[in-house]
Amino acid sequence: AKDPVRVLVTGAAGQIGYALVPMIARGVMLGPDQPVVLHLLDIPPAAEALNGVKMELIDAAFPLLKGVVATTDVIEACTGVNIAVMVGGFPRKEGMERKDVMSKNVSIYKSQASALEQHAAAGCKVLVVANPANTNALILKEFAPSIPEKNITCLTRLDHNRALGQISERLNVQVSDVKNVIIWGNHSSTQYPDVSHATVKAPHGENHVRELVADDEWLRGEFITTVQQRGAAIIKARKLSSALSAASSACDHIRDWVLGTPEGTWVSMGVYSDGSYNVPAGLIYSFPVTCRDGEWSIVQGLSIDEFSRNKLDATAQELSEEKALAYSCLS
Ligand code: NAI
């Protein structure tokens, strides 16, 4: 039998946490033959609710679940973890300035970075979900210098999956037959959902989404804004932000990272930019990546037309401004 993998979920008493932890305990994240120990962290006001989640995990009698550590102590939570899914954060409340929210999250991610750096298992892979996801991941990277930058990522897979979903609905095809959309940039409304290279599986080979849709106006207009604004549409409908889709996408992100992407398929991940596609180095930016042997690499050599170029640059610009704002909160 395999040794259990220790998976940390921060903000585990929250909405996404409640959807995510049973998925992990059922093997959705790491596979049906991989035992897990869950480490659940939240803050003292949520301690009682967190304990309730732990009780339910015990009650569900998941065969793969070999233990639950539920705590409000960051060091206890981080000790020995192989995977860290960072969902906890400070939400924007009515009337709060962007800078105030940023400042709260910068201080959370700064201190959790140190705890992970000192106490996580070697090779720990980190996924930041909490917003502002790219910039929280960047702060975590800056304050955990001994964690390799390739091990620190943020979630844009939900946006990627939303783009697949919109194409599938429009063309009336199975979502599993659509692939190679790309989310470029920030997990925010400046992200660029790009279908220039996306395909749909056909009986013999693959067809290009652009040719099948044959409506560039829709692809460059409503498609993009629908994906960009989907989070807001969910809040409007549910009066709560996306949770089951965020949790499911977080599992997709880690599963593909650890177990690899299928041949000929890429996915979107927020990763530390090395300057690929002329995206400034030193930002956490969403790129198309393939994964193998537990490592991601940015897909190289895709053609970028002028329309796309402008969109890639605009979302990079926003990330540079967020980075500057985050740094101004540190000093
Ligand atoms: P929620 O408010 O239901 O849960 C957040 C939890 O984090 C709460 O239980 C809170 O007590 C906890 N928390 C706050 N500070 C903490 C700290 N310092 N350490 C540990 N836990 C802490 O929020 P929800 O809906 O679960 O969303 C979580 C985050 O994910 C939000 O920032 C949200 O904006 C973000 N999000 C990101 C998505 C993405 O695609 N990247 C998609 C959807 C949400």
Given ligand 1 and candidates 43, 102, 156, which is best to mutate, with the most ligand atoms within 8 Å of its CB?
Answer: 43
Structure confidence at residue 48 as a pLDDT band (50, 70, 90)? very high
pLDDT at 331 over 80: no
Q: Whose CA is nearest to atom 36 of ligand 1?
A: 130
At 149, which amino acid appears? E
Q: How far is residue 271's CA from residue 281's CA, in Å, rounded to a whole number? A: 11
Domain co-membership, 150 together with 162:
no
Domain co-membership, 170 together with 318:
yes
Domain co-membership, 86 together with 200:
no
- Using the mean position of ligand 1's atoms as its centre, give its distance from the Cα of residue 251 in Å: 16
User: Does 119 participate in catalysis according to the annotation?
Assistant: no
Q: Whose CA is nearest to atom 2 of ligand 1?
A: 14
What does the pLDDT read at residue 227? Answer: 98
What does the pLDDT read at residue 1? Answer: 83
Specify the number of domains making up the chain: 2
What Cα–Cα distance (Å) separates residue 127 from each residue in 133, 134, 187, 269, 297?
A: 9, 10, 13, 10, 16
Domain co-membership, 93 together with 80:
yes
Domain co-membership, 39 together with 175:
no
Binding site residues for substrate, as ranges? 92, 98, 131, 162
- Using the mean position of ligand 1's atoms as its centre, give its distance from the Cα of residue 181 in Å: 26
Q: What is the domain-level CATH number for residue 236?
A: 3.90.110.10
User: Are the beta carbons of 289 and 267 closer than 8 angstroms?
Assistant: yes
Given ligand 1 and candidates 87, 136, 252, which is best to mutate, with the most ligand atoms within 8 Å of its CB?
Answer: 87
| Residue 269 domain-assigned (yes or no) | yes
Domain co-membership, 58 together with 132:
yes
| Residue 328 domain-assigned (yes or no) | no
The domain boundary residue, chosen from 154, 186, 208: 154
Nearest to 274 by CA among 252, 258, 254, 289: 289
What does the pLDDT read at residue 95? Answer: 79
Please tell me whether the overall predicted TM-score, pTM, comes out greater than 0.95 for this model: yes
Q: Give the pLDDT confidence of 229-262 residue by residue, as tens digits.
A: 999 999 999 999 999 999 999 999 999 999 999 9
Q: How far is residue 122's CA from residue 219's CA, in Å, rounded to a whole number? A: 43
Q: Which stretch of DSSP H or E encloses residue 298?
A: strand 295-298
User: Are the beta carbons of 35 and 25 closer than 8 angstroms?
Assistant: no
Domain co-membership, 173 together with 301:
yes
Neighbours of 325 (CB within 10 A): 16
Atom of ligand 1 nearest to the CA of 17: 26
| Residue 253 domain-assigned (yes or no) | yes
Atom of ligand 1 nearest to the CA of 158: 40
Structure confidence at residue 91 as a pLDDT band (50, 70, 90)? confident
Domain co-membership, 60 together with 138:
yes
Neighbours of 214 (CB within 10 A): 9
Average pLDDT over residues 176-197: 97
Domain that holds residue 128: 5-154
Atom of ligand 1 nearest to the CA of 242: 43
Catalytic residue among 119, 187, 197, 253: 187
User: Are the beta carbons of 145 and 104 closer than 8 angstroms?
Assistant: no
- Using the mean position of ligand 1's atoms as its centre, give its distance from the Cα of residue 279 in Å: 28
- Three-state secondary structure call for residue 98: helix
Atom of ligand 1 nearest to the CA of 18: 26
Neighbours of 85 (CB within 10 A): 31
At 87, which amino acid appears? V
Pocket of ligand 1 (CB under 6 A): 10-11, 13-17, 41-43, 46, 87-91, 108, 129-131, 133, 155, 158, 187, 241-243, 246
| Dihedral angle of Cα 258, 261, 263, 268, to the nearest 10 degrees | -150
User: Are the beta carbons of 160 and 168 closer than 8 angstroms?
Assistant: no
Cβ neighbours for 34, distance < 8 A, ≥ 6 positions apart? 2, 4, 5, 27, 64
User: Are the beta carbons of 298 and 170 closer than 8 angstroms?
Assistant: no
Structure tokens at 51: 């304990």
